[in-house]
């Protein structure tokens, strides 16, 4: 339990708790985010994952990061399908990025195409989260909004048969990273920032879509 994966988890524990307990996510799980708010969250994710997966395409040849840039994780196509479905049923126009999403996307664009350290940090925060608590969130929102596959495809990884085994292999890859101490410290710092960028996004969505006890059920 002294490898880098365990240290990274410990180094981001407080940030995880903070992101997890932001009002928007707890309300999402409690069923008090209006359907338009869930569509807006899906749209923010699409913006973020377009950047992350564009970076992954460039990192596929990088000696340090290539192992992480696995096409089986790709989320953009699922998010596009989900968003088309959610917009259709909510009758909503295209959803714009909130300011925090713009900042998040800009950070990914600026650093993650060229720096494996930054890329892996952002990759870890999103995909390992999606393979963990994200699957629970998917089941909850499907029940709350009465959705079948369309609308919640983002939360399912059809090309990953055993998420627990995948996460174990992912952590082994983190443990085996050929990076110096300062580079590993920079990676943990960037992962903390990635959590904060996510938390800011949830915060802003929470203000944009206040509690609506009537329409989410």
Least separation in angstroms between residue 168's CB and ligand HEM is: 9
Least separation in angstroms between residue 217's CB and ligand HEM is: 19
**H helix intervals, 60-180:** 76-90, 99-111, 116-123, 129-130, 133-145, 163-175
Quick one: which of 44, 62, 101, 198 contacts ligand HEM (CB under 6 A)? 198
Quick one: which of 57, 77, 106, 136 contacts ligand HEM (CB under 6 A)? 136
Other beta carbons within 10 angstroms of residue 72's beta carbon come to 10
Quick one: which of 128, 153, 187, 200 contacts ligand HEM (CB under 6 A)? 128
Which residues, other chains included, contact 143 with Cβ-Cβ below 8 Å and sequence gap of 6+?
none
Contact flags string 36-65 toward ligand HEM, x per CB under 6 A:
------------------------------
First to last CA, the chain: 43
From 18-26, 36-44, 151-159, 206-214, give the range in contact with ligand HEM by CB under 6 A.
Answer: 18-26
Least separation in angstroms between residue 93's CB and ligand HEM is: 26
Contact flags string 142-181 toward ligand HEM, x per CB under 6 A:
-------------------------x--------------
Q: Which residue is nearest to ligand HEM (CB)?
A: 133
The reply to whether 19 sits near ligand HEM by the rule CB under 6 A is: yes
In whole angstroms, give the CA distance from residue 22 to residue 75.
Answer: 23
In whole angstroms, give the CA distance from residue 41 to residue 163.
Answer: 23
In whole angstroms, give the CA distance from residue 6 to residue 100.
Answer: 29
Least separation in angstroms between residue 39's CB and ligand HEM is: 18
Least separation in angstroms between residue 6's CB and ligand HEM is: 8
145: its two tokens: 């909004």
The reply to whether 18 sits near ligand HEM by the rule CB under 6 A is: no
Least separation in angstroms between residue 169's CB and ligand HEM is: 13
In whole angstroms, give the CA distance from residue 112 to residue 121.
Answer: 9
Largest CA distance in the chain: 53
Answer yes or no: are the C-beta atoms of 69 and 59 closer than 8 Å: yes
């Amino acid at each position: 339990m002294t490898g880098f994966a365990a240290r990274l988890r410990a180094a981001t524990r407080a940030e995880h708790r903070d992101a997890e307990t932001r009002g928007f996510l707890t309300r999402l799980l409690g069923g008090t985010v209006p359907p338009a708010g869930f569509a807006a969250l899906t749209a923010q994710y699409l913006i973020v994952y377009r950047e992350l997966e564009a970076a992954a395409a460039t990192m596929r040849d990088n000696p340090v990061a290539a192992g992480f840039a696995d096409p089986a994780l790709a989320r953009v196509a699922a998010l596009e399908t989900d968003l088309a479905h959610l917009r259709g049923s909510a009758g909503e126009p295209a959803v714009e990025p909130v300011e925090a999403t713009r900042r998040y996307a800009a950070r990914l664009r600026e650093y993650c195409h060229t720096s494996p350290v930054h890329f892996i940090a952002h990759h870890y925060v999103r995909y390992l989260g999606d393979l963990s608590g994200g699957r629970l969130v998917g089941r909850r929102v499907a029940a709350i909004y009465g959705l079948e596959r369309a609308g919640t495809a983002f939360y399912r990884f059809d090309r990953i048969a055993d998420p627990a085994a995948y996460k174990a292999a992912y952590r082994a890859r983190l443990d085996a990273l050929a990076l110096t101490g300062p580079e590993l410290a920079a990676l943990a710092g960037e992962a903390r920032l990635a959590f904060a960028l996510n938390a800011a996004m949830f915060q802003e969505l929470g203000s944009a879509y206040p509690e609506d006890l009537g329409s989410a059920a």
